[in-house]
Amino acid sequence: MPEPFGRAPSHLLRTGDTPACPRCGSASVTFVAFFEDLSRFLMRCICGHSFVLMMADETPAASREDRVRAMIVDPHEDTRELYKEVLMFGGFDVVAAATAREALQSAFMSRPSVISIELRLPDGDGLELCRHFKKSKETSAIPIFVVTGETRSERLAKARRMADAVVVKPCSPASYLTHVLHLSGLHAAPRRR
């Protein structure tokens, strides 16, 4: 089996570090693709240089407890795994749920700092899940980031009134991480386009 990204130079990136171009040092790099083990990412810089970032998770177990926790609620396993890896890359501890029921149980046990929700869930309405989180005394202060494939304008309008941020898929990994960092209070607000 051929090695993906075999010709691109590889560079080690520690969890929580900002990716930067090894050629010019710019942080203006774009995610292109990931390898199936989600530990290697093909990146491209604005200077045109392509390179592979290899993840090195050297975070001691004790400091993992200090990480900010995020919850991902999405019925699609590939999406959950991709966003989970992106958030772990950004230094988050991540809890994932595929259904509204799992999300309700996990949110009260894990106490996330931010919740990412897809509106189209197999066992319920994502808007109702958002409403529940916003009305509950235990979760009302948790920022909600709706990342959805939903395109109906009335549903998106309701989501915008309820959630702290709403993005219609596809949402790039870089944009996803920027929004979650902002909502968790760890980073500046994402730029509007």
Q: How many Å apart are CA 148 and CA 151, to the nearest integer?
A: 8
Q: Rounded to 10 degrees, what is the CA torsion of 102, 108, 109, 111? A: 110
> What pLDDT is attached to residue 180?
93
Nearest to 116 by CA among 132, 136, 91, 94: 94
Mean pLDDT lowest among 40-49, 50-59, 60-69, 74-83: 60-69
> What pLDDT is attached to residue 22?
83
Per-residue pLDDT, averaged over 80-91, amounts to 89
> What pLDDT is attached to residue 57?
54
> What pLDDT is attached to residue 60?
45
Pairing verdict, β 120-121 and 124-125: antiparallel
- Looking up tokens 């309008």, which residue turns up? 157
93-97, strands of its sheet edge to edge = 93-97, 69-73, 114-117, 144-148, 165-168
Rounded to the nearest integer, the mean pLDDT of the chain is 82
AA identity, residue 183: L
CATH 3.40.50.2300 segments of the chain: 61-183
pTM of the entire structure? Answer: 0.66
* Architecture of the domain made up of 61-183: 3-Layer(aba) Sandwich (3.40)
